[in-house]
Amino acid sequence: MREQDEQPRPPRTVPQRDAAPTRGLEPPLVRTPETDAMTSVAASRRAGTQVWTWPLVRSAIVHSFRKLDPRWMVRNPVMFVVEGGSVLVTFWAFRDLFQGKDVGFAFQIAVWLWFTVLFANFAEAMAEARGKAQADTLRATKKDTPARRLRNGSEEMVPSSQLRRGDIALVREGEIVPGDGEVIEGIAYVNEAAITGESAPVLKEPGTDIRSGVTGGTQVVSDWLKIRITADPGETFLDRMITLVEGAQRQKTPNEVALTILLAGLSIIFLLVVVSLQPFAIYAGEAVSTIVLVALLVCLLPTTIGALLSAIGIAGMDRVTRFNVLAMSGRAVETSGDVDVLLLDKTGTITYGNRLAAEIIPVGGATQEEAAHAALWASLGDDTPEGKSIVALARQAGAAPPPGGWDAVPAGAEAIPFSAETRMSGVRRNGSTWMKGAVDAITASLDGETPPDVQDQTDRISREGGTPLAVSENGRMVAVVYLKDTVKPGLHARFDELRRMGIRTIMITGDNPLTAATIAEDAGVDDFVAEAKPEDKIRIIRELQAEGHLVAMSGDGTNDAPALAQADVGLAMNSGTAAAKEAANMVDLDSNPTKIIEVVRIGKQLLITRGAITTFSIANDVAKYFAIIPAAFVATYPELGKLNIMHLATPQSAILSAVIFNALIIIALIPLALRGVAYRAAPAAELLARNLLVYGIGGVIVPFIGIKAIDLIVSSLGLA
Amino acid sequence: MTVSGWAQIAILFLLVLALVKPLGLYMAKVFSGERTWLWPVLRPVERVIYRVSGVDERREQSWLTYAVSLLAFSLVGLVFLYLLQRVQGSLPFNPEGMGAVKPDSAFNTAASFTTNTNWQGYAGESTMSYLTQMAGLAYHNFVSAASGIAVALALIRGIARRRADTVGNFWVDMVRANLYVLLPISIVLALVLVWQGVPQNLNHYVHATTLEGMAQTIAQGPVASQEIIKELGTNGGGFFNANSAHPYENPNAITNFIEMIAILAIPAALTYTFGRMVGNTRQGWTLFAAMSVIFLTGIAIAYGAEAQANPALRNLGIDQAVGNLEGKEIRFGVPLSALWAVITTVTSCGAVNSMHDSFNALGGLVPLANIQLGEVVFGGVGTGLTGMLFFALLAVFLAGLMVGRTPEYLGKKVQAYEVKMVALAILIFPATVLAFTAVAAVTDWGTETLNNAGPHGFSEMLYAFSSGSGNNGSAFAGLGANTGFYNSALGFAMLIGRFFIIIPTLAVAGSLARKQPVPPSLGTFPTTGALWVGLLVGAVLIVGLLTFFPALALGPIVEHLLANKGVTF
C-alpha cells in the first residue's frame, strides 16, 4: 500500500485570479439542492470512485462473462488464444469423460484456463466500471432545461436541446446555463461546481480571455448573462466529458498498438514452440497430451500484460480525470510522459500575475514614516491587488491608521481615479493630495525638481525585475514603491523535480530581459524567453520541435490556440476561450496552469506501469518452463526430472500449479494496474535500475516461489 | 582446464580487442566516403568501376530501392552459381574432370553460398572444379559478406540520420566493402597462409604411395585465396570436406590463430564503426561489451565441458586427463578446438577445426545455443551487428517504458512499425528452425539418414536447421544431409533465414531514417553502461531460452543427463 501513500493528492485550491473579486461584487453563497448535487458529483470524480465496492465489482463480474464473446476477445490477441485453448481443453475433458477416463486433472486445467480469461476480462471491466459510474452521475445532471432564446430582440422559451451554435440566450439569476457559450453581455457569478467541484461561484463577464466562457449545466447565481451558444447539442462539454470518462470511444494509444503487435508476435512464437514440441515428443517416443500442451502454451503466453494492458490505459485516463483534467485522448496522456520541454507563461503560471508591493523607499530626504504615510494615503482609493498590497505594507511599516479604516476612503476625502491620460491615481483630502503612478508620470506632475536619489532607486528596482512606482505628496516626490511580481510558492521545488526527470522548463514573458532573468532565477526555470509576443509561442514551439523536443504548454487566451494546437501536449484552462479549449488536447477544469506538471507525472506513471508489468510477465516464463517441461516428458525422459528444481510433488501438480499461478497473478496485479506503479522523480538510469530489479529480477523469482507454494497446497489437498 | 588453455583464449580475445578500434575506424571512414591511406591507390579503381557499371555514387537510395538492388544482385548470383555447378564439366580449370553437380545439391550449394551460410552437403575436393571454387564459391564468399556489411550500413545510417529519405547506395557499399576492406586484407593474409604452407595452385591432385604401400590421392588447388575469405567473410565453406581441420587449410597453430582472428575481426570492429557513425563510440563499445559477455561465457562452458572426460570412454581405461579428444586435431588440442567451435558459431562463420558432433553433450550444446541465440555475438559480417541492434530495439521496447517514456533508441522512437518488423525478423528464425526440425523429426525423409538415435540424433537435425536458417553452415555431422529432402529443405531454410530478415531490417532502417531524433536528456533511457549491457544480454538470452528451451531439453540437455548414467547414442 506504499504506492497509495505516495500519490500526490489532487490540488484543491481555486486559482487566485478567479477567486479575487473585482468591481465590488462579492460572491453570494448559494446552496440549492441542485448545486449540492453538482458539487458531490465533481467531488466524487476528484476523489476517484471507491473501486472495490460491491455494486462495481458485481457489474464487473457480469461484464467479464459478456466479454467472453470472441468478437470482443479478438481485439486482444493474447487472451483470444487463451480463450481458444480453454475451449479446446474443455472439449478434450468432455471427450475423455465420455470415454470413461479419469478427468479430474483435465477439468481442473479447463476451469483455471477459463478463470484466466475471466480474470483478464474482470480487470478491464473493473477499470471501466469507475468511468461508467461517473458517466452515469454526469448523465443525471444533464437535463433538458428551458432556455430563453433571443431572436430579433424578442425572448422565446425553448428546450435547451433546440439551441444551436450561434444562437443568443439569456440566463437570469438562479437559472441553469442552457449550453456552452461565450458571454457577450452582463456580469454575473456562476456556480461551476458540476465541473470543477468548487462551490465558490466565479465571475463571468464579456470580452476577456479567462472569464467569458460558460459551460452548459452550470448555474447563474447572481445577476444575468447574455451568451452566444458555441456548441450544438451532443457536442457540448458535458457530452464530451461523459464520452471521455465512460471510455466508450476508447482507442488504443500508439504505444499500446505497438505493444499489442509485439505481444501478438510473442504469441505466435510460443504457439510455434508448443506446436513443434509434439513432433519432437513423438520422435522421442511418446506424444504429449493436448491438455498439457495447451497448459504450457497459456503459461508461456504473456497473459499477465495481455490481461492488464487495457486496464492500465483506462486507469491512467482515470487518474488524469481525478486531477480534474479532461484528456481528449489516451494518446495525449501517453505523450505527456514523453514531454521533455515545458513551456510556461510567466504570468498566471509561474507568478500570480499581480505585482505586489515589496518595499517603500523614502526619497528626497523624506523619512520612512512620511514615505509610508504618503504611500498609504495615495493607495486608499485603489481597490486593485497592487493598491491593497501597498496599504498592507504601509501598515506593516507603521503608518498611522487612516480615520475610515484600512480599506476605505475616509469621509471627506476624494479618490482620484486612474486615467489613461495622467497615468496616476490618488486621494485628495483637506487640501492635501497624495498621488502614485509610473515614475515618469509622477515626475511630470511635480512642482519642483525630482529628488536626485530617485534615478538610482528606479534603476535598481528595474534591474531586479521589479516595477517602480513613485508617490508624491502635494507635488513633492517622497517615496518610490517597489512592486514585485511574486513567484508562486513551491514552484522552485517542482522545477527541480522536473529537472531530475530530464524535463526542461522554459518561461515565456513579455517583460524585458532583465526582469525576466530575475523572475527566472527566483522561480528556478532552466531558460526564459523575454519580450515575447503571444504569437512568438508557436514559433518557439516549432523551433523546439524541429530539434526533436516534445513540448507541453498550458494556455487560456484565444491567441494561445494555435500554440496549444502545435504543442505535443496542450493544456487549456477551462476558464479560457472556446478556441483555446478546442485546440488543446487536455482541459484543466480547475484552470490551474501549473497542473501540466501533474499531467506529465501521470503520463510517466502510466508508461512505467505498462513497462513494469510487461517485463514481469515475460520474466515469469523462466520458472514456468522449469515446472512444465520436466513434467511433460516425465514418461519419455525421467532424467529430465533433474530440471524440476522446485521439487514439485507430481507432474500433474506441477502443471496445474503453473496454470493456477498464471491465473492468480492477474488478479494479484489488478490493484497495481489500476493505481499505477509508484513513481518518484529521478533520472531515467535510476528508475530503470530500480524497476528492472523489482519487476525484472522479481519477475524471475516470484513465480518460483508462487508455483512452489501452490504446489504444496494442491498436493496437500490431493487435487493432483 | 589449464592455465595455458586459458592463456591462449585470453591472447586471442585481446588481439581481437586491439583490432576493434583501428579496423572499425577504417571501415567507418571508408563507408562514409572519407579519405583513408589506401585512397590514392584504390580510389581511381573505384571510379573506374562506377564509370563502367554506370553507378552514380552520389545518388542515394530509399530503403526499398536498396532492398530491391540487394535482392536482384543476390538472385543473379544464385542463378549464376547454380548454372556454373551444372556445367562445370565442360569448362576450363578442371584438372580432375569434375562432372555436373546434381540439381538438388547444386541448388543447396547456390543458396548456401549466396546467403553467406556455406553449408556444404558435398565434399569440396571430390565435387567442385577449380573454376567453380574460384569464380563461384570464392566470388560469393566476397559478395555475400559485402552485402551483409551493406545491410548493417543501411541500418546504421537509418539510426544516425535525421529526417532522411535514403539509407545509402547499395552498389557503392558493395564496391567499397570489397575493394577497401575484404580484398586488401584477404590478399595480405592469403600470402601469409601460403607462407605457412597452405597450397595455392591449379595443379592436378597428387597420387602418392604411402609407406604401407597404399595408393593415396592428395587433393590441392587454389586453397589459400579461398581459405582466408572463408574466415574473413564469416562464410565457412571449406575447400576440402574436412574444412579447417584439414592440414592444407589450417596447417599449424599460427594459421589457426590467424584464421580465428580473421573470423572475429570484421564483426567485432563493426561495433566501433557503428559507434563512430552514430556519433557516439560508447554506444559501439557497449554493444561490444554485451557481445563479449556472452562470448566469454560460451567459451567457459564449452571449454569446461570439453576438458571433461568423455563419459562413454571412462570405463575403457583410456587416459583422458586432457579432456575429450575424440574428433579433435591433436595439433590444436582441447582449448583451441573449443574456442574455435564457439567463435565459428557466435559468428555465422561455420568453418570448423574439430567435429562438433563428437563434443560432450554440454560442449555441443554451446555451439548449438550460440546459433540459436541468433548469432548476434559479433555474428556474421554485418548480420551480427544488425541482429544485435534488433535485440537492442526489442530490449528498449520491453524495458524502455519503465523509465516513463515511450521507447527510443539513440533518439529514435521505436513505434508500431519498427516493432512489427523487429518481431518479424526475430520470429522468422525460430519459426523456420522449429518447423523444419518438426517435419524432419516425424518423417522418414528426416530420420532415415541419421547416424545416431535418441536425443543425439535429434540434436543433429536441430543443429542442421539451426545452422541453415542461421546462415552458419557448420554441421553436427552424423547426419547424411546430401539427400533430396535435406538439400531442398536446408536450401529454403537458408534463403528464408537470410532474406526474410534482411528485408525487415532494411524496412526498419528506412523508417528510422525518416524520424526526427529526440535529443538526449536525464530522462532518456540509457543505452550505455553496465545496466544496459546486462539488459541487452538478458534480452538475447531470454528470447533464445524461451524459444529453444524445450528443444534443447529434448536434445543436448537430456543427452547430458543420460550420458552421466552411461547411456549413449
The tens digit of pLDDT for each residue in B322-340 reads 888 888 988 898 999 999 9
How far does B439 lie from chain A, in Å, by closest CA? Answer: 7
- Please name which of A429, A370, A382 lies closest in space to residue A403, comparing C-alpha atoms: A429
The tens digit of pLDDT for each residue in A155-164 reads 888 888 888 8
B535 interaction partners in chain A (CB closer than 8 Å): 688, 692
pLDDT band at A1 (very low <50, low <70, confident <90, very high): very low
A639 interaction partners in chain B (CB closer than 8 Å): 558, 561-562, 565
Helix residue ranges per DSSP H, A330-473: 330-338, 368-379, 385-396, 439-445, 454-463
Question: Cα separation of A226 and B445, whole Å?
Answer: 88
Residue A549 to residue B518, Cβ atoms within 8 A: yes
Q: Which residues, other chains included, contact B217 with Cβ-Cβ below 8 Å and sequence gap of 6+? A: B205, B206, B207, B208
Mean pLDDT over the full length of chain A: 84
Question: Is any Cβ of chain A less than 8 angstroms from the Cβ of B519?
Answer: yes
Comparing CB atoms, the residue among B437, B525, B549 nearest residue A629 is B549
A622 interaction partners in chain B (CB closer than 8 Å): 542, 545
The tens digit of pLDDT for each residue in B9-40 reads 999 999 999 999 999 999 999 999 999 999 99
- Listed as own residue / partner, the contacts of B206-215 with beta carbons closer than 8 Å and 24 or more positions apart are none
Q: Which residues, other chains included, contact B426 with Cβ-Cβ below 8 Å and sequence gap of 6+? A: A265, B374, B390, B391, B394, B543
CA distances from B70 to B139, B147, B389 (A): 16, 7, 20
Comparing CB atoms, the residue among A607, A611, A639 nearest residue B558 is A639
Report the pLDDT value the prediction gives residue A141, as an integer from 0 to 100. Answer: 66
Report the pLDDT value the prediction gives residue B278, as an integer from 0 to 100. Answer: 95
Chain A residues 325-384 with a CB less than 8 Å from chain B: 334, 337-338, 340
How far does A492 lie from chain B, in Å, by closest CA? Answer: 18
Question: Is any Cβ of chain B less than 8 angstroms from the Cβ of A540?
Answer: no
| Residue A189 predicted with pLDDT over 60 | yes
Residue whose grid cell is 513423438: A282
The whole-number average pLDDT for the span A647-659 is 94
| Residue A51 predicted with pLDDT over 80 | no
- For chains A and B, CB pairs below 8 A equal 212
Chain A residues 566-605 with a CB less than 8 Å from chain B: 603-605
Contact A665, A706 (CB under 8 A): yes
Helix residue ranges per DSSP H, B307-415: 333-346, 361-372, 383-400
Question: Is any Cβ of chain B less than 8 angstroms from the Cβ of A501?
Answer: yes
Comparing CB atoms, the residue among B399, B407, B542 nearest residue A692 is B399
Torsion of CA A391, A395, A398, A399, to 10 degrees: 50
| Residue A263 predicted with pLDDT over 50 | yes
Question: Cα separation of B67 and B498, whole Å?
Answer: 13
Q: Higher model confidence: residue A3 or residue A634?
A: A634
Minimum CA–CA partner of B522 in chain A: A502
Question: Cα separation of B159 and B170, whole Å?
Answer: 17
Burial bucket for residue A151 (CB in 10 Å: 0-12, 13-18, 19+):
exposed
Residue A625 to residue B546, Cβ atoms within 8 A: yes
B426 interaction partners in chain A (CB closer than 8 Å): 265
Question: Is any Cβ of chain A less than 8 angstroms from the Cβ of B438?
Answer: yes
Within a 13 Å sphere around the CA of B558, how many CA atoms are in the beta-carbon half? 27
DSSP per-residue string spanning B67-81: HHHHHHHHHHHHHHH
Residue A684 to residue B162, Cβ atoms within 8 A: no
Residue A280 to residue B438, Cβ atoms within 8 A: yes
Question: Is any Cβ of chain B less than 8 angstroms from the Cβ of A495?
Answer: no
The tens digit of pLDDT for each residue in A223-236 reads 889 999 988 887 77
- Report CA torsion sign: A130, A132, A138, A140: negative
Residue B406 to residue A273, Cβ atoms within 8 A: no
| Residue B426 predicted with pLDDT over 60 | yes
Within a 13 Å sphere around the CA of B553, how many CA atoms are in the beta-carbon half? 29
Contact A180, A212 (CB under 8 A): no
Question: Is any Cβ of chain A less than 8 angstroms from the Cβ of B195?
Answer: no
Q: Is A364 helix (H, G, I), strand (E, B) or coil?
A: coil
| Residue A5 predicted with pLDDT over 60 | no
Name the active-site residue from A345, A590, A621, A711: A345
Burial bucket for residue B505 (CB in 10 Å: 0-12, 13-18, 19+):
buried
Report the pLDDT value the prediction gives residue A177, as an integer from 0 to 100. Answer: 87
pLDDT band at A486 (very low <50, low <70, confident <90, very high): confident
Q: Which residues, other chains included, contact A147 with Cβ-Cβ below 8 Å and sequence gap of 6+? A: A157, A158, A159, A160, A162, A163, A169, A178, A179
A694 interaction partners in chain B (CB closer than 8 Å): none
Question: Cα separation of B131 and A103, whole Å?
Answer: 67
Report the pLDDT value the prediction gives residue A3, as an integer from 0 to 100. Answer: 38
Output the furthest CA–CA distance in chain A (Å, rounded).
117
Contact B508, B386 (CB under 8 A): no
Residue B406 to residue A255, Cβ atoms within 8 A: yes
Cell of B50: 562506377
Q: Is B201 left (phi over 0), alpha (psi -120 to 50) or beta?
A: beta
CA distances from B354 to A446, B342, B374 (A): 106, 11, 22
Bridge partners, A170 (sequence order): A148, A226
Angle, CA B381 vertex, CA B375 and CA B386 arms, to 5°: 60
Identify the residue among B402, B515, B554 best suited for mutation to test binding to A, counting A beta carbons within 10 A and taking the highest: B402
Burial bucket for residue A59 (CB in 10 Å: 0-12, 13-18, 19+):
middle
The tens digit of pLDDT for each residue in B139-190 reads 999 999 999 999 999 999 999 999 999 999 999 999 999 999 999 999 999 9
Contact A267, A201 (CB under 8 A): no
Comparing CB atoms, the residue among B399, B455, B526 nearest residue A615 is B399
How far does A306 lie from chain B, in Å, by closest CA? Answer: 13
Q: Which amino acid is at A678?
A: A
Percent of the residues in chain A that have a pLDDT greater than 70, as a whole number: 90
Mean pLDDT over the full length of chain B: 92
Report the pLDDT value the prediction gives residue A356, as an integer from 0 to 100. Answer: 82
- Please name which of A719, A679, A535 lies closest in space to residue A598, comparing C-alpha atoms: A679
What is the predicted ipTM? 0.91
pLDDT band at A351 (very low <50, low <70, confident <90, very high): confident
Question: Is any Cβ of chain B less than 8 angstroms from the Cβ of A695?
Answer: yes
Question: Cα separation of A701 and A661, whole Å?
Answer: 13
- Please name which of B239, B229, B288 lies closest in space to residue B259, comparing C-alpha atoms: B229
Comparing CB atoms, the residue among A254, A259, A639 nearest residue B561 is A639
Comparing CB atoms, the residue among A283, A503, A611 nearest residue B402 is A611
Q: Is B350 helix (H, G, I), strand (E, B) or coil?
A: coil
Residue whose grid cell is 525630482: A450
- Please name which of B226, B238, B494, B188 lies closest in space to residue B352, comparing C-alpha atoms: B238
Question: Is any Cβ of chain B less than 8 angstroms from the Cβ of A47?
Answer: no
Say how far residue B367 (Cα) sits from the centre of its chain.
Answer: 12
Contact B558, A637 (CB under 8 A): yes
pLDDT band at B56 (very low <50, low <70, confident <90, very high): very high
Question: Is any Cβ of chain B less than 8 angstroms from the Cβ of A678?
Answer: no
Question: Is any Cβ of chain A less than 8 angstroms from the Cβ of B521?
Answer: yes
Comparing CB atoms, the residue among B419, B441, B550 nearest residue A283 is B441
The tens digit of pLDDT for each residue in B547-569 reads 999 999 999 999 988 887 777 77
Tally Cβ neighbours within 10 Å of residue A384: 15
A500 interaction partners in chain B (CB closer than 8 Å): 522
Question: Cα separation of A308 and A313, whole Å?
Answer: 9
Question: Is any Cβ of chain B less than 8 angstroms from the Cβ of A635?
Answer: no
The whole-number average pLDDT for the span A51-76 is 87
Question: Cα separation of A464 and A451, whole Å?
Answer: 21
Comparing CB atoms, the residue among A269, A280, A642 nearest residue B554 is A280
Q: Which amino acid is at A423?
A: R
The tens digit of pLDDT for each residue in A518-538 reads 888 888 899 999 888 878 888
Helix residue ranges per DSSP H, A67-173: 70-73, 77-98, 104-141
The tens digit of pLDDT for each residue in B341-376 reads 999 999 989 899 998 888 888 888 999 999 999 999
Burial bucket for residue A390 (CB in 10 Å: 0-12, 13-18, 19+):
buried
The tens digit of pLDDT for each residue in A290-309 reads 999 999 999 999 999 999 99
Angle, CA B97 vertex, CA B96 and CA B101 arms, to 5°: 115
Residue B562 to residue A639, Cβ atoms within 8 A: yes
Question: Cα separation of A90 and B459, whole Å?
Answer: 35
Report which secondary-structure segment, H or E, holds A640.
none
| Residue A2 predicted with pLDDT over 60 | no
Question: Is any Cβ of chain A less than 8 angstroms from the Cβ of B395?
Answer: no
Residue A683 to residue B550, Cβ atoms within 8 A: no
Question: Is any Cβ of chain B less than 8 angstroms from the Cβ of A633?
Answer: yes
Q: Is A345 a catalytic residue?
A: yes
A604 interaction partners in chain B (CB closer than 8 Å): 404-405
- Report CA torsion sign: A361, A365, A370, A376: negative
Comparing CB atoms, the residue among A545, A625, A685 nearest residue B531 is A685
Residue B523 to residue A683, Cβ atoms within 8 A: yes
B412 interaction partners in chain A (CB closer than 8 Å): none
- Please name which of B117, B194, B346, B406 lies closest in space to residue A332, comparing C-alpha atoms: B406
| Residue A14 predicted with pLDDT over 60 | no
Question: Is any Cβ of chain A less than 8 angstroms from the Cβ of B566?
Answer: no
Minimum CA–CA partner of A604 in chain B: B404
- Please name which of B231, B232, B239 lies closest in space to residue B201, comparing C-alpha atoms: B239
B162 interaction partners in chain A (CB closer than 8 Å): 548
Q: Higher model confidence: residue A344 or residue B568?
A: A344
Question: Cα separation of B240 and A416, whole Å?
Answer: 109
